[in-house]
Amino acid sequence: MYGLLGLLLCWVPIVGLILSGMGLIRAHRAGDELRAEPRFEGQGLVSIGLWLSMVGAALGVLSVVYWLIVLLHA
């Protein structure tokens, strides 16, 4: 959930980074829980959440850089 929100709000500089960071943390924790208890399913959802969080974080960093450049040239 956080990874998707981070990706959707990556154009908002700080909000997208925070949500993507939370998504990365939650995806890693969920992956650890799935590896510890093999009877649970959902590795595909964890992978999707991890990828969404990584893309959201990358776009969030680009958004911060863009807004810093815009604000410094104004």
Q: Per-domain residue ranges for the chain?
A: 2-73
Separation of alpha carbons 62 and 27, rounded Å: 22
Question: What is the pTM assigned to this prediction?
Answer: 0.83
Check residue 24 and give its pLDDT. Answer: 92
pLDDT for 4-49, tens place per residue?
888 888 888 788 889 999 999 999 999 899 888 878 888 888 899 9
DSSP assignment of 20-65, as one string? HHHHHHHHHHHHHHHHH-TT---HHHHHHHHHHHHHHHHHHHHHHH
Cα torsion at 14, 29, 46, 24 (round to 10°)?
Answer: 20
Q: Which residue has the higher pLDDT, 13 or 64?
A: 64
Sequence-separated (6 or more) residues with CB below 8 Å from residue 14: 64
